[in-house]
Structure formats: C-alpha cells, structure tokens
C-alpha cells in the first residue's frame, strides 16, 4: 500500500528534518566546527551511529545547513526587495543591503558558514550554487531594471575594460544575474556587492571592535556610497554622502 510506504518515508523525512533543525540550533550557538553529530544524537535521544543513517557524514549535514542558510537569506532579501516600490531602485538597493546585514547579525554563525572562511576539508557540492545565488539574483535584477529604466547615472566615458577576460566575466555576470547591463556598470555592481559583504564581515568578525561602534548609521552611509558607485539614485533630500 502506498500510504504505508509513505509512512516510513515520512518518518524518515521528519527525522531528517528534526536532525537538521537541532543541528542548526547547535550551529547558532557553537559554530560550524563546534557542531557535534554526537551532541545532536544525544539531544535526539538516539545513538550517534544512528544519525549516520540520515546524514552519511558531518559534511553532508553541513551541506544541508548551508543550503538552508542560503535559502533563508535569499528569502529575506527577496522579501525586502518585494516590499519596495519597483521604480525606487535606490530604495530597493538599500533595502536589500539592510536585509543582508540584519540577517547576518541575527544569524552570525550561519552567515559565517556561508560567507566566512570555508570549513577546512569541506568541498561545497553543486547543490549549493543555486541557493547561493538567490540574493545575488535579487541584487542583479535591481541593477538590471534600474539600467533598463534609465535610472542609472552611468559614469561618463567608456570603461576601458582593458583585458578581454573581464568582458568574458561580465558577460557571464550579465547572463546569470544582470541582463542588459553594460560592462562598466556590471564591474561596479560586483564591486559594490562584494563591498557590502566585506563591510558586514568586518562588523561580524570583530574588525570594527573598539573603533566603529555606531555600525547601523555608518552602514547606511557605506550603502549609499556604494549605491552611488553603481549609479543608483540617492535617497531624496540627501546630500552627497
């Protein structure tokens, strides 16, 4: 009977989900390397070896957590973008940046797992690349639509990409996340995007300690500056910050 076979599979799916959930809780408190399969097993009330029926290795468990993390971050970024006026490209950029930062502050260990130093010995499988692009896709769409709408203040003069390799890379960027955008804008978009994550990394990993304390306010300014770098319109009534 189908329902009985499903019953077995359903309890399996449920246990798999429960293990991942407990693991995610441990990850939030202990970090990726502190995550212990045995501790998860204890909390599940099962033997440590039994957990290996569900996740063949700690790396597989980490992969699940990574994918979930990318999806969670992607979702909040998508929602942040969706909550904005579609024509307000500058506002969407700011909303997306703040969504990333807020999520990172709320889930520091998970963020570190996604954007921090990779766990040694861990090789990210192909399943992670699609979720990993969710936030970037949102960002790319903003730039793309801003460009299409003519809302982008493209800096004067041609870009002079120089090496042909950059053009190749930008073609890939265009194809995957930022259709229709010229090279010069795409380069700056990549710069701005990495800049946001660099900023958040500095904040999260302690580089700002004892120097920059009013992070939210400074983040606003950095996001505005990086947005201006892409050519996105500034918030109304703001001077050149």
Which stretches of the chain bind a second copy, using CB under 8 A?
30-34, 109, 112-113, 115-121, 124, 129, 132, 155-163, 165-166, 168-169, 172-173, 176, 184, 187-188, 190-192, 194-199, 201-202, 205-207, 210-214, 217-218, 220-222, 225-226, 229, 238-241
Task: Check: CB of residue 16 under 8 Å from CB of residue 10.
Answer: no
Is residue 4 near DNA by the rule CB under 7 A? yes
Q: Does 22 bind DNA (CB under 7 A)?
A: no
Q: Nearest approach, Cβ of 148 to a second copy (angstroms)?
A: 22
Q: How far is CA 81 from CA 59, 142, 240, in A?
A: 32, 9, 24
Q: Is 53 in the site for DNA (CB under 7 A)?
A: yes
Q: Applying CB under 7 A, does 236 fall inside the site for DNA? A: no
| Nearer to a second copy (CB atom), residue 84 or residue 124 | 124
**Alpha helices, DSSP H, located in 84-179:** 89-106, 108-115, 129-132, 134-148, 164-176
Q: Which of these ranges, 52-60, 80-88, 105-113, 197-205, lies near DNA under the rule CB under 7 A? A: 52-60
Residue 226 touches which of DNA, a second copy, none (Cβ within 5-8 Å per kind): a second copy
Judged by CB under 7 A, the residue of 20, 27, 32, 37 near DNA is 37
Closest contact distance (angstroms) between CB of 195 and DNA is: 35
Query: Contacting DNA (CB under 7 A), which of 45, 120, 150, 162?
Result: 45
User: What is the 3-class SS of 130-152, one letter each residue?
Assistant: HHHCHHHHHHHHHHHHHHHCCCC
Q: Which of 88, 199, 81 is nearest to 136 (CA)?
A: 81
Question: Degrees (nearest 5) of the Cα angle 200, 85, 102?
Answer: 20
39 binds, among a second copy, DNA, none (CB under 5 to 8 A by kind): DNA
Buried b (16+ CB within 10 A) or exposed e, 112-146: bbbbbeebeeeeeeeebeebbebbbbbbbbbbbbb
Pick between residue 54 and residue 99 the one whose CB is nearest to a second copy.
99
Check if the beta carbon of residue 145 is closer than 8 Å to that of residue 97: no
Residue ranges binding DNA (CB under 7 A):
1-2, 4-5, 7-8, 11-12, 15, 35-39, 45-50, 52-54, 56-59
């Amino acid at each position: 009977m189908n329902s009985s076979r499903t019953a077995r599979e359903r309890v399996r799916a449920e246990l798999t989900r429960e293990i991942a959930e407990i693991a995610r809780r441990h990850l939030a408190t202990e970090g990726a390397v502190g995550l212990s399969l045995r501790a998860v097993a204890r909390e599940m009330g099962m033997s440590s070896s039994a957990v290996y029926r569900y996740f063949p290795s700690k790396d597989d468990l980490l992969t699940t957590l990574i994918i979930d993390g990318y999806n969670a971050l992607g979702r909040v970024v998508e929602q942040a973008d969706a909550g904005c006026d579609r024509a307000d490209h500058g506002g969407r950029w700011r909303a997306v940046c703040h969504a990333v930062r807020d999520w990172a502050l709320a889930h520091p260990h998970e963020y570190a797992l996604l954007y921090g130093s990779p766990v040694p010995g861990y090789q990210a499988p192909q399943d992670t690349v699609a979720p990993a692009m969710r936030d970037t896709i949102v960002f790319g769409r903003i730039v793309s639509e801003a460009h299409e709408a003519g809302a982008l203040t493209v800096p004067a003069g041609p870009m002079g990409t120089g090496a042909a390799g950059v053009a190749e890379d930008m073609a890939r960027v265009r194809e995957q996340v930022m259709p229709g955008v010229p090279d010069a804008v795409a380069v700056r978009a990549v710069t701005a995007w990495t800049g946001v994550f660099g900023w958040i990394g500095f904040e999260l990993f302690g580089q700002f300690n004892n120097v920059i304390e009013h992070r939210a306010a400074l983040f606003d300014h950095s996001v505005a500056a990086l947005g201006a770098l892409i050519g996105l319109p500034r918030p109304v009534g703001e001077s050149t910050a």
